[in-house]
Structure 1
Amino acid sequence: MINVRHAALLFFLTLCACGRSEQSRQEETHTPSPGTVPSEPPASLTKGIWMKGDLHVHSRHSNDSTNNPVAKIVALAETVGMDYLLISDHDNHVDGDVASHTWADPEFRSDSVLLLYGAEWTTQRGHGTAMSARPYDHKRFYDVRDARDAKVIATKKALGIFVAANHPMAADHFGFSYDLVDSMEVWSSAIWSSNTTALTVWDDMLKSGRRIAANGGSDSHHGYPDSPDAELDPNNVQAGGNNVGTPTTWVYGSSHNSEAVFAALKAGRSSVSANPFSPRVEFTADLDGDDTPDGMMGDNLAGRGLPVRFRVLLGNANLPLPYQVKVIKDGAELGTYTASGFPPVASFTDTPAAGSRSYYRVEVTGTITPYPQVPASALLSGNMVGLSSPIYFNFDPSF
């Protein structure tokens, strides 16, 4: 039963939030660039490690944040076993000088969580997240926020930073060219229902031949007040439903370091789950039928008109529950399959066409794993468990 506090939570977050079936398939033909035969060998599928984190959190250094010092955010990330964290404070309140504020905060440290460097790029054309494994001149990027896209892209390249498009269908949607971005925040905040249209934008960009990884971010702004008398404070209510890790972004990297986090995300080896304890979506492709994966999400494989066996494994699952796996091929539903067993697994076969590009991604629904530190988040995520970045076939490797 939802108690008074949970009812209040749903009310305030609504106000404050910035078996198997087949459907008709939408057939689209794409032609790769002349003279290219994409056949990139996948990175090792056995020697990497999974790392989880949140790429969009606001501390007291954002002026619309309350009860959220850096130490409180880092402590929660450490408690729930996060591997990395980006405190992405707004940059417009400090004229782009986040280095003297968030990064210089003495609380900006952790012995177990990799603290990434970055900020929410807050512009007249919407929001994105600039980020890096090490400190960089963020003010230089902030200063081109109103420039033409070509200048923004050139500045990003010169700085060597990673850029994600934030909440693409919100009021502050990303209004720049998607040639600028490395990933897209397709799941922003615990409220899954507010994210469904973001998938439409993502699919449009993927159909254009762009290879854009999925990431999530809680976009949390508030922490629990220190006073126990503040239980009905709306910001306290928000903290109980949307906080660090709602959702959580998983990346498959070579080792536990900041550079590996960005290398993995850049390569598209990512999936997003409802919270740090929810099942992690692992999506692979077997090209030759030997039951050994030849590629995973992010890989660009050669489609030669032969059947490919796809497998979805839900790692991090702690209960043998069934889940529904919806497969999206080129923006249309290919089918929905049941993942069962422990760990839950689903598989399907399809034939990527030779000579034209295609992509596959998956969305998983089912029972949400409880998140004790943010107990009401499950009420907001509904039955959305997780989603994957795509596996690509015959995409132009230079695009």
Structure 2
Amino acid sequence: MAWSALGLAATPALAQSCPALKPVGQRSGTWLSGDLHLHSRHSLDSTHNEIAKIIAFAEGAGFGFLAITDHDNHVDGAVADHTWADPEHGSDSLVLLYGAEFTTHRGHANTFSAEPYDHQALWDARDADDAELNPLIETLGIHFSANHPENNDPFSFSYDQVDSIEVWNSVQMTSGVTVWDDLLKSGRRITGRGGSDAHHGAPDDGEESGSNSYERWFNYVGTPTTWVYAGDAGAPDVIAALDSGRVSISANPYGPRVELFADLDRDGVMDAAMGDAVCAHGEPVRFEARLSGGRSEHGRRYRVTVFRNGATWLETRTDPDTGAVVFEDTPPAGERTYYRVEINGRKDAYPGVGLSRFIGGDLVAMSNPIYFNYE
């Protein structure tokens, strides 16, 4: 369901003491699907993955945006002369972000920008301490995102310079969620996002190739898919949505995404959505988690886990007709509290990446949090 269909009224009782927050129903925007971690032939460890192949696949699957994030260490930081300058790096229907995978001894991070920036300067500062690196990131104006923080390349830069964190990497790895929850509990508001980290396209007919090239049959563009609720369909709006946490993650673009809302005064009007920070006054709040899209089998019920401050607070199932779950809780006055949800069940089929529904468990979708008493 579009946010605009969820109500129009404000919440006068809370507006007097909380920061001004436009009710959900008054927010215009569009849900766009995309992938924020992809490697083309400009990454030396990729196989049969030309930019044209990636973009054509994404266009066919109805994506709205992509970030092709090749390893900067493979080109000594000169991604502007390689990935960005590739004649294939263009699309009439996709928003293509400018970025790369910052590939260092201290871990990996993705950079995202609406326009070209001086990535060479970032690469040259890869061994600088955080006191030098943080101002550079701010000066470059990039969205800085930690990659697979608990993988073999653990992220050891300061999280105080991070705008988002990859909590779902490839078709199966979600170990970054633990790091994310710890950061959120510490009072940081950091967006959770996904990324396929796909390196390998399908081999051409009759061409010999290594086994890695077959990864595309279970892990390719959009496994998982990151969705952003953007004010418009342009690159700056995609970045703004990432910055603000208006983000949901699904197993693939054909499956359902989950949207989380809060009715602060239980009047039937949704006042807050993912990424919002609101005040808690010790009064009950009604929440709604709703699945949108997917659900190709009518009557399918999904398992819903509600996390409160990183711990399982409620386990339930969606309504088979509406795909929604409604629950209530009382966030304590004067204490930081956040809520997010995960959805498990049968994953929808993904044409062209057919084995992905059978690999990596049954996680279907994940929301970003709604925050109480954070700022």
Cα distance between partner residues in 2 of 1:293 and 1:228: 55
Q: What is the SS of the residue equivalent to 1:359? A: strand
**Residue in 2 aligned with 1:17?**
none
Aligned position for 1:91: 72
1:229 and 1:222 map into 2 onto residues whose CA distance is 14
In the alignment, which residue of structure 1 is the partner of 2:87? 106
Asked if 1:287 corresponds to 2:264, the answer is: yes
CA offsets, 1:95-138, max 9 Å, x none?
11100000000000111111110000001101000110111101
What whole-Å deviation, never above 9, does each CA across 1:325-374 have from its counterpart, x for those lacking one?
10110111111121123440011100001011110011110110000110
Partner of 2:21 in structure 1?
41
TM-score (norm 2): 0.92
Secondary structure in 2 aligned to 1:176?
Answer: coil
Say how many residue pairs are matched.
356
Alignment correspondent of 1:315: 292
1:76 paired residue number: 57
Give the 3 Å change call, closer, same or farther, for CA 43–67 of structure 1 in structure 2.
farther
| Identical positions, percent | 50
Q: Deviations over 1:182-204 (max 9, x none)?
A: 1110000002xx32x32111111
Name 2:3's counterpart in structure 1. none
Tell me whether 1:357 sits opposite 2:336 in the alignment: yes
- Contact residue 23 and residue 271 of structure 2 kept, 8 A: no
Q: Once the 2 structures are TM-superposed, how far is the Cα of residue 381 of structure 1 from its aligned partner?
A: 2.9
Q: TM-score, normalized by length of structure 1?
A: 0.87
Deviation of 1:225 after TM superposition, in Å, equals 1.1
Question: Do residues 236 (structure 1) and 213 (structure 2) align?
Answer: yes
Question: Larger relative CO (CA 8 A, sep 6+): 1 or 2?
Answer: 1
CA distance in 1, matches of 2:112, 2:207: 37
Whether 2:133 is the aligned partner of 1:156: answer: no
Could you tell me which runs of 5 or more consecutive residues in structure 2 were left unpaired when the two chains were aligned. 1-16
Q: SS of 2:354's equivalent? A: coil
3-state SS, counterpart of residue 376 of structure 1:
helix
Q: How does 1:315-354 map to 2 (within 5 A)?
A: 315-317=292-294, 318-320=296-298, 321-354=300-333
Match of 1:370 in 2: 349
Say yes or no: does 1:247 pair with 2:224: yes
Q: Is the 8 A contact 1:38 1:394 kept in 2?
A: no
Query: CA RMSD, aligned part only?
Result: 1.4
Q: Name the stretch that deviates more: 210-219 or 40-49.
A: 40-49
In structure 2, C-alpha distance between the alignment counterparts of 1:40 and 1:360, rounded to whole Å: 20
Deviations 1:13-71 (A, max 9, x none): xxxxxxxxxxxxxxxxxxxxxxxx75351475442110110000000000000100100
Name the counterpart of 2:164.
Answer: 183
SS across alignment from 2:97? strand
CA drift of 1:248 comes to 0.3
2:254 is matched by which residue type in structure 1?
F
SS for the counterpart of 2:44 is coil
